[in-house]
A and B are shown apart, each in its own frame.
Chain A
């Protein structure tokens, strides 16, 4: 792996992409076999993996939007990494196709007989019905496609022209883009995750998923940068100052995650309404309790203590570990949201959690393809936005 230090273009992209693709294909083939063995397990594991990678892409989209909106300087040097992640997001619509066919296994509200005997679900039918559900999902991906494309094409155009206009144009797109981002992420979280327990509702749920999304993509971006650094790409350009800022963001959003997670729990605990408390009851029963505890410890207390000091945020070793950790714990979080509702009337909740090999194969399957597509996109353009007016300042950025 090598880049031209003048043009910042890859002269040798290495074998990383093809390795990721091989992992992805093997994972998908194994998962397909898993579908034949146990379709219900397959669909739940698959949805977990799908949501994991979609949220990772969404986190990168948010990072790009906020970068433009606040006219950030320090993050210019990592803009291409987040842009390439975000622009891979709309392609994941392909992976939604199996979910569309597995709705009967996943979503209780698609069962006509269940809805017929359930007043609540009849009331929700105008929203929770197959046609509207699929149309909404198509809509989310269409918005994500248009938004990421609008930002990405301008970013690439900027590389070959010296006009300042592109920076301003990207900022103008980001303002309404942020509103669209907020709505689409929230409703996607309602549709794909919250409707797994169709009686349950939590208005803060979208924010909860958003924080996990941002944390996982910060972890991903950190790992990609450290990987490039190990190969000598951008090693002298992305300095400890930039990693320090990534550490600060992971630290800050860890606290925000706890704030939102607790807010959701707190109001449900206080209100004590059965339709609401069921979510936490099932996740505190049997061995699910340990998963819940792992999330409290691993999603908040552990990263909080790990990244509390300045020295830790500036240590590349600590950040490499925390990058992996944020990806891992975000997966656990998605697993914790999705898997308890597996089985008729959430039978899985009563039996406790049991990991399946399909949890791994679906993650590797979708993940391998995601990383391969990301890598193809990333290596096709200069690794930094070469004509961004703030690039030079970003190289020499120092924390105050």
Chain B
């Protein structure tokens, strides 16, 4: 092995700033910080807490989720698809008279229409939620922070990401300290 390659392997990888992580004392501080981050015009940031916090969406300036539209479209697809399927199989492709009812008896089709509407709506809700949350996501630089482990336990965090248009490390650090963070750190990640 050449010495050049060896030195490349042992030397520490090049790092870059990924986000600024600020810890807050409690729910109240988190909510007020979220409002101030929102009002300051940051877009790429997120709040982390061990439990759901009522009012956090509004404090962060989150818009209404489009999930309802996804579910609605899936419901129509499910219901419409079930109707078409049953109409095709029962009245067109393989017509069979069952207990003297007309071939196209919508009453008989309703249970399947209902079930498929619910099934596809549920798929739309679950997988749509995953997609909107950009899941599955196997890596996020925030886990490089040791303090962040407390987010599942007793810690309340705000992370402003480097991708944000307004991001400038020094300014963000100072801003988060001013809005009441108990601890601020810069989280780094390896450059690709």
CA distance A269 to B99 in the complex (A): 11
Q: Please measure, in the bound complex, the distance between the C-alpha atom of A191 and the C-alpha atom of B52, giving whole angstroms.
A: 49
Complex: A270 Cα to B108 Cα, angstroms: 8
Closest to A269 in B: B107
A265 to B108 CA separation, bound complex (whole angstroms): 11
CB–CB A400/B110 < 8 A: no
The verdict on A266 contacting B107 (CB below 8 Å), with A272-B99, A310-B64 known, is: yes
- Residues of A309-334 contacting chain B, CB below 8 A: 309-310
A398 to B55, CA, bound (A): 8
Contact call A266/B99, Cβ cutoff below 8 A: no
- Residues in A with CB closer than 8 Å to B100 are 272
B105 (CB) vs chain A CBs: closest residue? A269
Query: Does B54 have its Cβ within 8 Å of any Cβ on chain A?
Result: yes
B97-113 CB mask vs A (1 if < 8 Å, else 0) is: 00110000001101100
- Whether B110 lies near A398 (C-beta < 8 A) is no
- Is A270 a contact partner of B99 (Cβ separation < 8 A)? yes
- CB <8 Å contact, A398 and B108: no
Could you say which residues of chain A place their CB within 8 Å of the CB of B52? 400
* Chain B stretch 33-62: residues in CB contact (< 8 A) with chain A: 52, 54-55
Q: Smallest Cβ distance from A397 to chain B, in angstroms?
A: 9
Secondary structure type dominating chain A contacts: helix
- A247-274 toward B: CB 8 Å interface, digit per residue (1/0)? 0000000000001001001100110100
CA distance A400 to B108 in the complex (A): 39
Closest B residue, CB atoms, query A308? B72
Cβ of A266 and Cβ of B64 under 8 Å apart?
A: no
Among residues of A, the one whose C-beta sits closest to the C-beta of B53 is A400
Q: Is A265 within 8 A of B64, CB to CB? A: no
Tell me the residues in window 294-315 of chain A with beta carbons closer than 8 Å to chain B beta carbons: 309-310
As a 0/1 sequence over residues 212 to 225 of chain A, the CB contacts with chain B under 8 angstroms (1 = contact) are: 00000000000000
Chain A residues within 8 Å of B111, by CB:
266
> 1/0 contact trace for B52-93 toward A, CB 8 Å?
101100000000100010000000000000000000000000
Q: How far is the CA of A259 from the CA of B113 in the complex (A)?
A: 12
A259 to B114, CA, bound (A): 9
Pick from B54, B99, B108 the residue with the most CB of A within 10 Å.
B54
Complexed CA–CA distance, A288 and B99 (Å): 27
- Find the A residue at minimum CB distance from B56: A400
Chain B residues whose CB sits within 8 angstroms of the CB of A270 once the complex forms: 99, 107-108
| Cβ–Cβ < 8 Å partners of A269 in chain B | 107
Question: Which residue of A has the minimal Cβ distance to B114?
Answer: A259
Contact B99 A400 (CB under 8 A): no
CB pair B54–A400 under 8 Å, yes or no, is yes
Q: Assess the A262–B99 pair: CB atoms within 8 A.
A: no
Query: In the complex where A270-B99, A272-B99 touch, is A265 in contact with B55 (Cβ < 8 A)?
Result: no
Q: Across the interface, which residues of B come within 8 angstroms of A400, CB to CB?
A: 52, 54
The 3 tightest CB contacts between A and B, nearest first, are A398-B54, A269-B107, A266-B107
A contact set with B: CB distance below 8 Å: 259, 262, 265-266, 269-270, 272, 309-310, 398, 400
Mind listing 19 A-B residue pairs with CB under 8 Å?
A259-B114, A262-B110, A265-B107, A266-B107, A266-B110, A266-B111, A269-B107, A270-B99, A270-B107, A270-B108, A272-B99, A272-B100, A309-B68, A310-B64, A310-B68, A398-B54, A398-B55, A400-B52, A400-B54
- Give me 7 other A-B pairs in contact (C-beta within 8 A), A272-B99, A272-B100, A310-B64 excluded: A259-B114, A266-B107, A266-B110, A309-B68, A310-B68, A398-B54, A400-B52
